[in-house]
């Protein structure tokens, strides 16, 4: 069992949780994730490791589906059934003179450890972060510690550019040049960020989050097609270069269990 040591509400939809998991934390690197189960009957939830120290890992989750809503009902000193990890292929941190991170919504969480690692490796780092409103922007204080510049985009215009991160990108690219972009967020946002960056010949990395079950490549549920070849996000990723990814296939796969998820949420009284 894994004890919850801290819980923080980042906004009405997103929580941060610190979990006691020393065997996981001591081997964690940027890009790794864990799969957790709330209880013995719970489904497996893949979540990026935001931070780690010698005893704990920090996760951020959006209370969107049945299991994450259930996770959000737990409190400090409650215990999780399973925390398995670190999983995935750790990000290879190379030196780039200047990097731009592009975060959409809760994608700010998996982007954070990567941008921080690049900054610690000597790269100059800027952040473009988007959300529905200013109240939905997360982890800004953490990013301010190492980002040279932070640019905002909100759907309602309450912070920064009114519109999407791509609208902010077009504006920023007029005066800034970058050697690498890392875009993490909803699939459509990553696809559109990649397509825009392609016009600027800017290499773009993304973090894919297809539906996962075991996290070891055995089930095949998280397969993705890149340049006609099959990869598994849980063992070959979750981070990939965006060039060649079949995003349309990912869109289809992401909706496989939409009806079942709706029924589960109804059981919790969270959906109608």
pLDDT, tens digit (0-9, with 9 covering 90-100), for 146-161? 999 999 999 999 999 9
Residue 52 DSSP class: E
Quick one: 106 and 161 in the same domain? Answer: yes
Q: Which of 249, 243, 257, 264 is nearest to 211 (CA)?
A: 257
Number of domains the chain is built from: 2
In a domain, 169, yes or no: yes
Of 87, 106, 125, the domain-final residue: 87
137: containing domain: 91-180
pLDDT at 235: 87
Residue 3 reports pLDDT greater than 60: yes
Count of C-beta atoms within a 10 Å radius of residue 233 = 26
In a domain, 39, yes or no: yes
Q: What is the CATH number of the domain that holds 78?
A: 2.40.30.10
Read off the pTM. 0.89
80, 119: one domain: no
Last residue of a domain, one of 180, 207, 239: 180
What single DSSP character describes residue 92? -
259 or 208, higher pLDDT: 208
70: enclosing H helix or E strand = helix 66-72
* Contact predicate 31/90, CB 8 Å: yes
Nearest to residue 217, comparing CAs of 190, 235, 196? 235
Q: Classify residue 213 by burial, with Cβ atoms within 10 Å: 0-12, 13-18, 19+.
A: middle
Q: Is 112 exposed, middle or buried (0-12, 13-18, 19+ CB in 10 A)?
A: buried
- What's the confidence (pLDDT) of residue 222? 81
Q: Are residues 47 and 19 in the same domain?
A: yes
Query: Are 75 and 12 contained in the same domain?
Result: yes
Q: In terms of domains, do 12 and 31 share one? A: yes
Compute the average pLDDT of residues 19-28. 95
Same domain, 75 and 102: no
Question: In terms of domains, do 126 and 147 share one?
Answer: yes
pLDDT at 270: 52
Residues 96 and 176 in one domain: yes
pLDDT at 48 over 80: yes
For 29-186, list the strands marked E by DSSP. Answer: 33-37, 45-52, 56-62, 79-80, 82-87, 98-104, 124-131, 149-154, 161-162, 180-184
Using alpha carbons only, what angle is made at residue 265 by residues 261 and 269, rounded to the nearest 5 degrees?
165
- Give residue 266's pLDDT: 45
- Summarize pLDDT for 79-101 with one digit per residue, the tens: 999 999 999 999 999 999 999 99
* Ramachandran area for residue 85 (φ above 0: left; ψ -120 to 50: alpha; else beta): left
Say if 185 falls within a structural domain: no
Q: Is residue 170 part of a domain?
A: yes
Residue 75 lies in a domain: yes
**How far is the C-alpha of 156 from the C-alpha of 270, rounded, in Å?**
25
Q: Do residue 71 and residue 97 come from a single domain? A: no
Q: Is residue 200 part of a domain?
A: no
Is 235 in contact with 243 (CB distance < 8 Å)? no
Asked if residue 239 is part of any domain, the answer here is: no
Q: What is the CATH number of the domain that holds 158?
A: 3.40.50.80
Same domain, 68 and 95: no
Say whether both 121 and 160 belong to one domain: yes
Last residue of a domain, one of 63, 87, 111: 87
Alpha helices in 21-65, H assignment, sequence order: 22-25
Q: At what angle do helices 165-172 and 187-199 cross, to 10 degrees?
A: 20
- 95 and 169, same domain (yes or no): yes
């Amino acid at each position: 069992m894994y004890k919850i040591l801290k819980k923080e509400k980042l906004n009405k939809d997103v929580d941060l949780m610190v979990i006691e998991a020393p065997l996981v934390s001591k081997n964690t690197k940027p890009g790794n994730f864990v799969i957790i189960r709330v209880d013995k009957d719970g489904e497996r939830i893949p979540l990026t490791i935001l931070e780690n120290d010698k005893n704990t890992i920090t996760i951020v989750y959006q209370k969107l589906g049945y299991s994450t809503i259930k996770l959000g009902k737990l409190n400090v000193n409650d215990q999780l059934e399973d925390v398995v990890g670190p999983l995935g292929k750790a990000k290879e941190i190379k030196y780039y003179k200047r990097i731009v991170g592009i975060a959409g919504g809760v994608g700010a969480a998996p982007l954070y450890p990567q941008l921080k690692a690049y900054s610690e490796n000597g790269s100059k780092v800027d952040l473009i972060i988007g959300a529905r409103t200013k109240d939905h922007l997360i982890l800004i204080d953490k990013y301010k510690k190492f980002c040279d510049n932070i640019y905002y985009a909100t759907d309602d215009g309450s912070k920064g550019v009114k519109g999407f991160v791509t609208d902010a990108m077009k504006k920023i690219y007029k005066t800034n040049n970058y050697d690498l972009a890392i875009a993490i967020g909803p699939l459509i946002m990553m696809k559109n960020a990649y397509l825009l960056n392609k016009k600027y010949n800017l290499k773009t990395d993304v973090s894919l989050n297809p539906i996962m079950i075991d996290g070891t490549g055995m089930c095949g549920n998280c397969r993705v097609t890149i340049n006609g070849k099959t990869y598994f996000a849980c063992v070959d990723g979750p981070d990939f270069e965006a060039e060649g990814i079949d995003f349309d296939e990912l869109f289809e796969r992401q909706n496989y269990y939409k009806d079942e998820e709706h029924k589960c949420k109804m059981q919790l009284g969270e959906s109608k």
